[in-house]
């Protein structure tokens, strides 16, 4: 019996590792946030962008990368890669490219730019992406859910990951604390 349980645990772990490798390296951490409206991902190679645009009818891409965002060790944001993406998107008719280079925790000017993009219904469906698709893209996806879907900020925070505990979105971590204490534009207006 112990061998069967051990084998089952091993299979579950291997399945999880396999999904992680697939998502990170083949699927670029692409995820549906709200079907037909908002998606998030890591960097999609320029020669694959059009495939995602066509499959999901994406009209706008919000790129959260920008050299000098203070996270260049984990997210080597190389200007040539940003230029290659922008040029690839420019060749796709009807698709908008917005660069909103952001730190892991957004600054007000990043929020202002993001909300201006997201307030315009002509920009939808939108793909939000950063380098890996698991930090800034998840942060802005949570902000989208709070601002545009009325999701509770802690529900949006914990929706960023399968397991939030011990992640960068956990309470006591900068991203987790930011979302936990975030006040939506609607909340600010009522005060």
**Count of domains observed in the chain:** 1
Which of the four pLDDT bands, split at 50, 70 and 90, describes residue 12? low
Per-residue model confidence as pLDDT tens digits over 119-130: 999 999 999 999
Provide the CATH number for the domain around residue 116.
3.90.190.10
**Does 125 reside within a domain?**
yes
Give mean pLDDT, residues 56-80: 80
**Does 8 reside within a domain?**
no
Query: Residue 154 to residues 35, 48, 159: CA-CA distances in angstroms?
Result: 21, 34, 8
Our CA dihedral for 95, 99, 104, 106, rounded to 10 degrees, sits at -100
């Amino acid at each position: 019996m112990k061998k069967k349980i051990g084998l089952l645990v091993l299979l579950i772990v291997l399945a999880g590792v396999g999904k992680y490798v697939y998502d990170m390296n083949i699927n670029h951490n692409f995820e549906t946030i709200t079907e037909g409206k908002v998606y998030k991902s890591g960097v999609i190679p320029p020669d694959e962008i059009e495939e995602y645009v066509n499959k999901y009818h994406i009209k706008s891409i919000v790129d959260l990368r920008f050299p000098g965002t203070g996270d260049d060790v984990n997210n080597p944001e190389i200007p040539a890669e940003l230029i290659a993406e922008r040029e690839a998107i420019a060749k796709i008719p009807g698709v908008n490219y917005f660069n909103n280079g952001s730190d892991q925790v957004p600054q007000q000017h990043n929020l202002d730019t993001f909300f201006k993009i997201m307030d315009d219904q002509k920009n939808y469906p939108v793909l939000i992406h950063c380098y890996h698709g698991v930090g800034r893209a998840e942060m802005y996806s949570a902000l989208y859910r709070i601002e545009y879907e009325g999701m509770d900020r802690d529900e949006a925070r914990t929706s960023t990951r399968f397991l939030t505990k011990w992640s960068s979105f956990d309470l006591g971590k900068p991203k987790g604390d930011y979302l936990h204490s975030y006040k939506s534009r609607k909340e600010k207006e009522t005060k």
